[in-house]
Structure 1
């Protein structure tokens, strides 16, 4: 079986160790992203999900960026 997706294998087939309870899939500035809520209640960008290569050049979507608005 071949899956054409920007998601990682652990996101598609999670195991007991890979279950992320504080991660969400949101739309931020018109793009779909995986974010993780940290201890201060802020959202940190984990992964950008896009098929447009130009989206990955945008500095607002660097993994680890703190997202102020939700």
Structure 2
């Protein structure tokens, strides 16, 4: 099996969850929140587009739980 074939085969994780392929979006900061801890329409659309593109898993990053901890 070549690398391209492996990329599009499913993968079962140790916890039993099954990914439809092996495409994963790594964590990164998108800086599209509203500054008050809420997602914006632009941020929602970005993640929607990644999902529509076929990514099997998306690793989240830069999730602020308090307004004083916002990324810059």
Q: Which has the higher contact order (CA 8 A, sep 6+)?
A: 2
TM normalised by structure 1 equals: 0.26
- In our comparison, the structure showing a higher alpha carbon Rg is 2
* Higher helix proportion (structure 1 or 2): 2
* Higher strand proportion (structure 1 or 2): 1
